[in-house]
Structure 1
Amino acid sequence: MSTQTIEVRVGSCELIGKVLSFDLLPVTDELPPWEAGAHIDLILGDDLVRQYSLCGDPADKTRYCLAVLLEENSRGGSRTVHETVRPGAVLKIGAPRNLFPLVPSEGPDVLIGGGIGVTPLIAMAHELGDRNVPFTLHYVARDPAFAAFLQASSFADRVQIHDRSNPSTSRPDLSSVLQGIGRGHVYTCGPVALMDGVQEAALALGLTEAQIHREAFSALPISGGETFEVLAAKSGVRVQVGADEPITAALARAGVKVTVSCEQGICGTCVVDLLEGDPDHRDEYLTEDERTDQIALCCSRAKSPLLVVDL
């Protein structure tokens, strides 16, 4: 989670289908600048922090825009947003963080989002439009809750909606979607199966790895690994971590508490310094440079028999 906390006031709110769209305005100072692909931490309570992609126009420096889908199996975040976010409410957020930036390109670029993974692509569509870069945005979903939101956007003429609510409807032909991309780039966010399919189709068409960009909204699963040990250096506690057990749970059994929030490897709350060992990073938060000496304990595993962490 970002260490910088910013106080904001909710501006306009609009419920479009199951999606609550709302603006966040500065209470005092100006909001930090951001670029398409960035997300923020939305602090909803002492132990409830959720990450949402900014989906407004990055050229608008006066506000942040979020669009939150009310999920049927909500773990508390989307439900709390829909129940409590109202015009005038004062909230706290973290500063924008971007692990999914746009790369300079003359296009045409292709944006492919599945489910809630479409949200960072909305900001990309705004930014590409501002740059006059040709693009198309493809939205794939079994419950296309963001369809009305996209159809009301300024770039609606560049949106293609692939409604998969009918079980007989097949996934879009990704090879056809990516035809003619040339030196452009493809950006995809959503379920792993969709992103893997996009990557496979792009590589088959001759695109390079550098032209393919993806972001997941959750970490890789922790199941299916080997057992290993973790030593908390400061406390001297050494524990065995089970094959299907988070490191945080193993440490908690031994009395070493680690603060967690999303428990999906995307917020950074449980990140600590790594002192020794070979980690198997499964988070979506740390950059490659940060992974040299840090680890997200809620989801990561080990390639070595022992990890030593600064706890």
Structure 2
Amino acid sequence: MLSQEMMLTLMSRRDVAQEITEFTFEASGASVLPAADAGGHIAIETPGGAVRQYSLVYPNQNPTSYKVAVKREETGRGGSLAMHRLAIGESVSVQAPANNFPLGTAPEYLLIAGGIGVTPIYAMAQQLMATKAKLRMIYCARSAQDAAYVPDLQALLGDRLNVHYDNGDLENLYDFWDDFADPSKAHVYCCGPGPLMEEIKGISGHWPDGSIHFEDFAGVAAVREDDKPFEVRLQKTGQTITVPSDKSILEALRDEGIATTSSCESGTCGTCKCGLIEGDVDHRDMVLMDEEKADQIMICVSRARAGELVLDL
């Protein structure tokens, strides 16, 4: 279950690209929800029990609804598929907005989006246009069918927008060098697949410190191809649970009906921290300090190196 949760109802859904659907959630009575700044996200507990973070598409200081866009990932861990099965009228647990990708103050802005990474960038474009900021945006996608919100962005930005389709051809990838060869006063905000963000990191090293900003929800992979099953024993109940090779401790506990608090489920927020009684842990999170690893574990991503883990549950 999410911390600081609220129950919201799916009021509408619409396709905004091939395999990408926009979902609109409201509270009962369409009451005002916590403010949603550009770059912010909400964590949603999907009907299957998985918790996933999704960027908010429209910034609003007094929202009566939250809108997120979700790409259907057939080979993912099930969160997006569960979202795409969600029917209008169903309710989900949602955490109040958080923002790890806030817009700062700058003389000008360069917004860069790739694929589904357009969601927080589109929100930023809206907020910046409302304040008459100086900006440009580059949006890269495989094809027009895969690109979400292009008509909306064109209407919003006009010639400030550059949309590029590579059609899956590596020889046709967008060349960012002209945009980065000479450092400018712009702050760069980038969200997209790993290769895109790695490219921007690689060609922006000569830019001033603090001028390049990234959003990446990938976090830490909860399971890897070479993972093996192992067992966890719950100290308080004596129950032993097998954690399969393709599931996290958190997911295995959830499958057994054991309620645990979580949020990001990617090893980056610390919500699911659990006491460790004994066991050899493969710590994979990005939260715990070295001195905490002897008696704490993040059950959303970490696993046993060998043998059994005993948890303070």
> Which residue does 2:192 correspond to in 1?
190
> Which residue does 1:155 correspond to in 2?
156
Give the aligned residue type for 2:119. T
SS in 1 for 2:124: helix
CA–CA separation in structure 1 for the residues paired with 2:138 and 2:261 = 34
Q: Deviations over 1:31-60 (max 9, x none)?
A: 111212222223332524332211113345
Pair 1:47-2:39 in alignment? no
Change (3 A) 1:218 1:90: same
Change (3 A) 1:235 1:190: farther
Change (3 A) 1:8 1:258: closer
SS in 2 for 1:126: helix
> Which residue does 2:34 correspond to in 1?
32
Q: TM-score, normalised to structure 1's length?
A: 0.72
Deviation at 1:265, TM superposition (A): 0.6
SS in 2 for 1:84: coil
Q: Deviations over 1:250-272 (max 9, x none)?
A: x98xx9x7959899616869721
Please say if residues 188 and 213 of structure 1, whose CA atoms lie closer than 8 Å, have aligned partners that are also in contact: yes
> Which residue does 2:301 correspond to in 1?
299
Please say if residues 281 and 302 of structure 2, whose CA atoms lie closer than 8 Å, have aligned partners that are also in contact: no
Give the aligned residue type for 1:26. A
Give the aligned residue type for 1:199. K
Change (3 A) 1:107 1:3: same
SS in 1 for 2:104: coil
Q: Deviations over 1:283-302 (max 9, x none)?
A: 5xx699xx999753333479
Please say if residues 48 and 261 of structure 1, whose CA atoms lie closer than 8 Å, have aligned partners that are also in contact: no
Change (3 A) 1:295 1:151: farther
Change (3 A) 1:236 1:270: farther
Pair 1:81-2:83 in alignment? yes
Please say if residues 49 and 262 of structure 1, whose CA atoms lie closer than 8 Å, have aligned partners that are also in contact: yes
Deviation at 1:11, TM superposition (A): 3.4
Change (3 A) 1:215 1:17: closer
Q: Structure 2 stretches of 5 or more lacking a match?
A: none
> Which residue does 2:122 correspond to in 1?
122
Q: Structure 1 stretches of 5 or more lacking a match?
A: none
Change (3 A) 1:15 1:130: same
Please say if residues 44 and 50 of structure 1, whose CA atoms lie closer than 8 Å, have aligned partners that are also in contact: yes
Deviation at 1:75, TM superposition (A): 4.1
> Which residue does 2:204 correspond to in 1?
202
> Which residue does 1:112 correspond to in 2?
112
SS in 1 for 2:186: coil
Q: Which 10-residue stretch deviates more, 160-169 or 73-82? A: 73-82
Deviation at 1:136, TM superposition (A): 2.1
Please say if residues 270 and 297 of structure 1, whose CA atoms lie closer than 8 Å, have aligned partners that are also in contact: no
Deviation at 1:150, TM superposition (A): 2.5
Q: Deviations over 1:196-251 (max 9, x none)?
A: 11112111x3231x222222232345759999xx99876899xxx9xx998739x9
> Which residue does 2:67 correspond to in 1?
65
Give the aligned residue type for 2:113. G
Question: Aligned Cα RMSD in Å?
Answer: 4.5
> Which residue does 1:94 correspond to in 2?
94
Pair 1:248-2:249 in alignment? yes
CA–CA separation in structure 2 for the residues paired with 1:32 and 1:212 = 28
SS in 1 for 2:149: helix
Q: Which 10-residue stretch deviates more, 128-137 or 172-181? A: 172-181
Q: Which 10-residue stretch deviates more, 2-11 or 29-38? A: 2-11
CA–CA separation in structure 2 for the residues paired with 1:5 and 1:180 = 46
CA–CA separation in structure 2 for the residues paired with 1:17 and 1:245 = 30
Please say if residues 116 and 148 of structure 2, whose CA atoms lie closer than 8 Å, have aligned partners that are also in contact: no
SS in 2 for 1:73: coil
Q: TM-score, normalised to structure 2's length?
A: 0.71
What does 1:196-235 align with in structure 2 at a 5 Å threshold? 196-203=198-205, 205-208=206-209, 210-221=210-221
Identity of aligned residues (%): 27
